[in-house]
């Protein structure tokens, strides 16, 4: 953990805008071999709220995965030290299985706007387009839906269908719309997911030395093709609220969106 690589403010803003952060090929090849063997055998469940040391003993595959500096740094930056394990799951897609998971958002009852859980998704092998991968809709994480309300949608403009090298780890905001695509290849596809709950306030947990970088505001201002022209502004508004919470800066704004609607003058006219 001494080599933990914290996220920068630009990377955090990227996550807040998109609802995900991707780390390509950060897991070394030799550990990916162990990963596939581990996922094939299955990972026993753990009680809700377990600490990482209790859930994953020292030297176990999952513990080694979480100790990779880039992975450990991203996790600490997003949810802080000593997060608890909500649950984990091994997802296996058989060759040419002919079906996909409906587009959905997790945590149907989770309406927090000032905190979030993260889901770590690990891919131990190269994921090609015909293997399906995980479909996600960038910027959808702050648009509140009931879990499977989006299940009737087959495709949305600007969606992302994961194609990645072996050893890729993706962190998702718990509200991001996503779904596993069908596997049209001849290979079994493996993915391992862990949901983490923060145990500390998510306040400036990353490397904030670049907090004033203009690229932070540029990331937070990103729009996506599926946004409607008017209601897409709601995503910007909610992003500002989340960024204010994460930084502790109640004056931060983009194009006056939050300042405008939070205007409550106390001075009385005479």
- pLDDT higher than 90, residue 123: yes
**Spatial CA neighbour of 12 closest among 175, 220, 170:** 220
Query: What local confidence, expressed as pLDDT, does residue 150 receive?
Result: 81
With 80 as the cut, is the pLDDT of residue 148 above it? Answer: no
Tokens, residue 209: 């030395």
Residue 198 is predicted with a pLDDT of: 97
149 band by pLDDT with thresholds 50, 70 and 90: confident
Q: Give residue 208's pLDDT.
A: 98
Average pLDDT of the residues in 221-240: 89
pLDDT tens-digit profile of 22-34?
Answer: 999 999 999 999 9
| Per-residue pLDDT at 1 | 41
Percent helix / strand / coil, the chain, rounded to 5: 30, 20, 50
pLDDT at 81 over 50: yes
At residue 11, φ and ψ (nearest 5 deg) are -65, -40
Question: What pLDDT is attached to residue 183?
Answer: 93
Mean pLDDT (whole number) for 78-104: 92
- pLDDT for 111 beyond 80: no
Q: How confident is the model at residue 108 (pLDDT cuts 50, 70, 90)?
A: low
For residue 229, the model assigns a pLDDT of 74
Higher model confidence: residue 96 or residue 113?
96
Element (DSSP H or E) covering residue 259: helix 257-261
- When pLDDT is averaged across residues 144-163 and rounded to a whole number, the result is 83
| Confidence (pTM) | 0.93
Segment 178-203 shows an average pLDDT of: 95
Q: What is the pLDDT averaged over residues 109-126?
A: 90
| For residue 264, pLDDT beyond 70 | yes
Q: How far is CA 105 from CA 58, 108, 111, 126, in A?
A: 32, 7, 12, 25
Q: Round to whole Å and give the CA distance between 43 and 66.
A: 15
Could you give the C-alpha distances from 256 to 7, 60, 240, 261, in angstroms and in order? 27, 49, 10, 9
Measured at the alpha carbon of residue 15, what is the angle toward residues 138 and 169, in degrees to the nearest 5? Answer: 85
Residue 25: helix, strand or coil by DSSP? coil
pLDDT level of residue 2 (50, 70, 90 thresholds): very low
Distance CA 186, CA 179 (A): 20
| pLDDT above 90: residue 99 | no
Q: Domains in the chain, start-ordered, CATH in brackets?
A: 9-197 (2.60.120.620)
Average pLDDT, the chain: 93
Q: Nearest-5° angle of CA 262, CA 200, CA 123?
A: 100
CA distance linking residue 222 with residue 209, whole number of Å: 22
């Amino acid at each position: 953990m001494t080599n933990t690589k914290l996220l920068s403010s630009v990377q955090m803003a990227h996550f807040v805008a998109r609802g995900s952060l991707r780390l390509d090929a950060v897991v070394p090849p030799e550990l990916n071999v162990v990963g596939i063997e581990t996922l094939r055998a299955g990972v026993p469940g753990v009680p809700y709220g377990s600490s990482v040391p209790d859930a994953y003993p020292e030297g176990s595959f999952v513990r080694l995965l979480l100790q990779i500096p880039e992975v450990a740094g991203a996790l600490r930056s997003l949810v802080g030290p000593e997060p608890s394990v909500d649950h984990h799951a091994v997802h296996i897609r058989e060759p040419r299985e002919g079906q996909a998971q409906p587009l959905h958002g997790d945590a149907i009852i989770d309406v927090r706007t000032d905190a979030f859980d993260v889901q770590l998704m690990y891919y131990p092998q190269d994921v090609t387009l015909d293997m399906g991968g995980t479909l996600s809709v960038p910027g959808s994480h702050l648009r509140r839906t009931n879990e499977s309300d989006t299940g009737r949608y087959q495709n949305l403009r600007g969606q992302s269908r994961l194609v990645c090298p072996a050893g890729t780890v993706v962190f998702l905001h718990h509200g991001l719309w996503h779904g596993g695509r069908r596997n049209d290849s001849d290979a079994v596809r493996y993915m391992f997911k862990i949901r983490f709950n923060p145990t500390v306030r998510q306040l400036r947990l990353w490397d904030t030395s670049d907090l004033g970088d203009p690229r932070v505001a540029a990331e937070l201002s990103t729009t996506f093709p599926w946004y409607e022209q008017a209601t897409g502004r709601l995503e910007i508004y909610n992003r500002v609220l989340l960024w204010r919470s994460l930084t502790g800066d109640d004056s931060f704004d983009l194009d006056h969106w939050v300042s405008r609607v939070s205007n409550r003058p106390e001075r009385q006219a005479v």
